[in-house]
Amino acid sequence: MAKKQKQESKSIVKGLSFIGTAQDSNTSVIDVDNGKITRIRPLHYDWKYDPKDYNPWKMKARGKTFEPSEKCLIPPYTLAYKKRVYSANRILYPLKRVDWNPNGERHPETRGKSKYVRISWDEALDTIVKEIKRTIKQYGPYAICSQSDGHAETR
C-alpha cells in the first residue's frame, strides 16, 4: 500500500503587479495546496494586527465618517492570475516559426499562419542576443525598449 502524501496548504502574501505598474501595490493572499494555486484574494490589513494598534485615520464630513478600507483593493488581472498561470495557452518553452531563419529568410508575410517548432533555451537566447545586436547596429540603441523589472515576478 502506497504511503499517503501529506497535503501541504499555505497562504502566501505577495505583491502582484502588471508589467511593473504600481510595483507591489496589489498585495494579495495566495492560497496554495500541494504547490498549486487554489485561490487569490485581497490582503486584509487586520489579518495580523488590530486596527487600534496602528490607529488608522478617520474623517468626519457632512454627517458621515470616512475611514480607510481594511483590505487591499486588487484589480481584476490580479484576481485572474491563477487562470494565467494554469492556462492551456501558456507557452512553457521557446518556440520558433518553422519558416523563419534569423540569419536569412525571415518570411514576414507568413506571420500568424506558420506553424511553430520547439527550440532549446540556448538557441532562443542566442537568437535574442543576435537580434538585439542587429537592431542596435541598424537602428541605434534607442530602438530597444527594455522592461527590466520582470513584471514584478522576480521577487
Residue 109 lies in a domain: yes
- Among the candidates 65, 90, 115, a domain finishes at 90
On whether both 112 and 39 belong to a single domain, the answer is no
Q: For residue 155, count other CB atoms closer than 10 A to its CB.
A: 9
**Which cell numbers hold the place of 33?**
495546496
Quote the pLDDT of residue 1.
47
Quote the pLDDT of residue 4.
55
On whether both 73 and 101 belong to a single domain, the answer is no
Sequence-distant (6+) residues with CB within 8 A of 152 are: 15, 16, 17, 18, 20, 23, 24
Over range 102-127, report the average pLDDT.
92
pTM of the model as a whole: 0.56
Residue 63 lies in a domain: yes
Residue 81 lies in a domain: yes
Residue 82, domain extent = 8-90
On whether both 116 and 130 belong to a single domain, the answer is yes
Quote the pLDDT of residue 33.
93
> What does 78-142 look like in DSSP terms, one character per residue?
HHTHHHHHT-TT---S-EEETT--TTS---GGGTTTS-EEE--HHHHHHHHHHHHHHHHHHH-GG
On whether both 81 and 120 belong to a single domain, the answer is no
Quote the pLDDT of residue 73.
80
For 15, 97, 132, 133, 142, the CA distances from 145, given in Å and listed in that order, are 24, 23, 10, 13, 7
Over range 22-41, report the average pLDDT.
83
Quote the pLDDT of residue 7.
67
Residue 1 lies in a domain: no
Average pLDDT, the chain: 83
**Pick the residue with more confidence: 54 or 21?**
54
- Among the candidates 71, 90, 109, a domain finishes at 90
Sequence-distant (6+) residues with CB within 8 A of 100 are: 106, 107, 114
On whether both 86 and 12 belong to a single domain, the answer is yes
- Structurally, the chain folds into a number of domains equal to 2
Quote the pLDDT of residue 48.
79
- Among the candidates 37, 71, 90, a domain finishes at 90
Residue 142 lies in a domain: yes
pLDDT digits (tens, 9 = 90+) for 129-153: 999 999 999 999 999 987 655 555 5
d(CA 7, CA 72): 29
* pLDDT above 80 (res 31): yes
d(CA 151, CA 147): 8
Quote the pLDDT of residue 5.
58
Quote the pLDDT of residue 75.
79
Residue 2 lies in a domain: no
